[in-house]
Structure 1
Amino acid sequence: MTEGTGKPKANRASRASGAGKATKTAKTAKAKPIEVREGEPGDWREETLARMRAMILKADPEMVEERKWKKPSNGMAGVPVWSHNGIVCTGETYKAVVKLTFAKGADIPDPSRLFNSSLEGNTRRAIDIREGEAVDEGAFQALVRAAVALNGPPAKKAKPVKLLSGGNPQIAKADGDAPVQAYIAAMPGWKRDTGALLDALIVRTVPNVSKAVKWNSPLYGIEGQGWFLGVHVFTRYVKVAFFRGTSLQPVPPGASKSNDTRYLDIHEGDELDEAQFAAWVKQAAALPGWVP
């Protein structure tokens, strides 16, 4: 903080290759580290910004990068901006923090509570990172993907998702993360944050997880092994199905007509035991999955 002003003093942002030009990263391209400013080798702020940049590009390899708003306060280097059908987030370095600001952060589920700044507004949300602090990569990448999904397709307004019986979103059958994020974004009320939390915990526990939406339910599995978990929305709860649940320790509480499946029902106000859920996910991912 600058004495007498109460406002953080912005430092000149580091120059990335191709500064001032929009560049679209190819799916196979690796993120290039943001250059450290001359005279300040190893500056923690520049290293932190470079690390967060790599996470952003890993979450969405088609992200567009550019620098905007060049002015004396940032050494005419501009502010790093990441966009995909609209601005996703910006990155700025200050004396005490590195700030990642999400343009539509107020509308993005944040079950891991990474947003810790700009919380009073109706649109933006920010993450302030101080020296020595680490950011959960899985949770941060989930925010990036949710922000991209919120921006929607270019030049075409997405139709509202139809909610089926019990409020379950109707999402077309498809493989990959995108349909799962669309399902989560369409989950009504408190269930959306629950869906985002479950997704973040699964990705954090099983980084190589495969995803799909089938039969209007997100499925999680391991390629070549089948599906180990599914999610479905009901009127009063979110149901998590462990397809080999009877082989887990301890066995998830909900019984099923299937000899193998066990359920976990999450109601509004329930406090999810994240450690136990992650333990179940880890066990389930190691077992042969369900193959329809």
Structure 2
Amino acid sequence: MAGKTRTSAAATGKTAPKLQPGEGAEPVLLSGGNPQIAKGYGDAPVQAYIAAMPGWKSELGQRLDALIERAVPGVRKAVKWNSPLYGVEEGHWFLGIHVFTKYVKVSFFRGASLDPVPPGPSKQKEVRYLDIYEKDELDEARFAAWVKQASALPGEKM
């Protein structure tokens, strides 16, 4: 390579390819440690996202995914906007997960209709959040109840 220099993708204005975990590269982590996973439908992209969640968040992601699957057999999954989404009808989602620096945010898209209402308020009238920090004890029974309730409501079209 005498006389040639390597130029980064950022310097050329080109986008570097997004690699899934296991494709020979560490996953790209965006702001707050959120994994950058290519948009996709089904279990595989969601599992790639969960595997790329940093540190303790990956184990939590596995627990949440398993709880959601048990609460809603046959749940549909996708990764859109670098977040796993869960739904019962194609293109209609009742729950999403997103990684932040210090916690994992679970978004219930019709959370204001759940009983009890999840604790995290939103600027959006219907949305409620559950923020889970590393030292938090996850109330699995309550979470599963919220998931079952949320899955019975009309999903958010995205």
Name the TM-score class by shorter chain. Answer: 0.7 to 0.9
**Secondary structure of the corresponding residue to residue 70 of structure 2:** helix
Number of the residue aligned with 1:251: 117
**Secondary structure of the corresponding residue to residue 156 of structure 2:** coil
Matches within 5 A, 1:89-238: 152=22, 157-224=23-90, 226-238=92-104
Number of the residue aligned with 1:275: 141
Deviation per CA, 1:127-181: give whole Å up to 9, x if none: xxxxxxxxxxxxxxxxxxxxxx98x4xxxx4322100000000000000000000
Is the alpha carbon distance of 1:223 and 1:158 closer, same or farther for their aligned partners in structure 2, counting shifts above 3 Å? Answer: farther
Which protein is bigger by CA-based radius of gyration?
1
Residues of 2 paired with 1:274 and 1:158: CA distance?
Answer: 35
**Secondary structure of the corresponding residue to residue 179 of structure 1:** helix
Residues of 1 paired with 2:150 and 2:28: CA distance?
Answer: 31
**Secondary structure of the corresponding residue to residue 246 of structure 1:** helix
Residues of 2 paired with 1:269 and 1:259: CA distance?
Answer: 29
Query: What is the TM-score normalised by the length of structure 1?
Result: 0.46
- Cα deviation for residue 186 of structure 1 reads 0.5
Deviation per CA, 1:177-207: give whole Å up to 9, x if none: 0000000000001101110000000001101
Give the share of equivalent positions with the same residue, in percent.
71
Number of the residue aligned with 1:80: none
Number of the residue aligned with 1:240: 106
The 4+ residue runs of structure 1 with deviation greater than 2 A are none
Give the conservation status (yes or no) of the 8 Å contact 1:221–1:285.
yes
Number of the residue aligned with 1:138: none
Q: Which has the higher contact order (CA 8 A, sep 6+)?
A: 2
Figure out how many residues of one structure are paired with residues of the other and give that number: 139
Give the conservation status (yes or no) of the 8 Å contact 1:225–1:288.
no
Give the conservation status (yes or no) of the 8 Å contact 1:243–1:289.
yes
- Cα deviation for residue 208 of structure 1 reads 1.2
Query: What is the TM-score normalised by the length of structure 2?
Result: 0.85
Residues of 2 paired with 1:199 and 1:224: CA distance?
Answer: 18
Give ranges in structure 1 of 5+ residues lacking alignment. Answer: 1-148
Residues of 1 paired with 2:85 and 2:106: CA distance?
Answer: 10
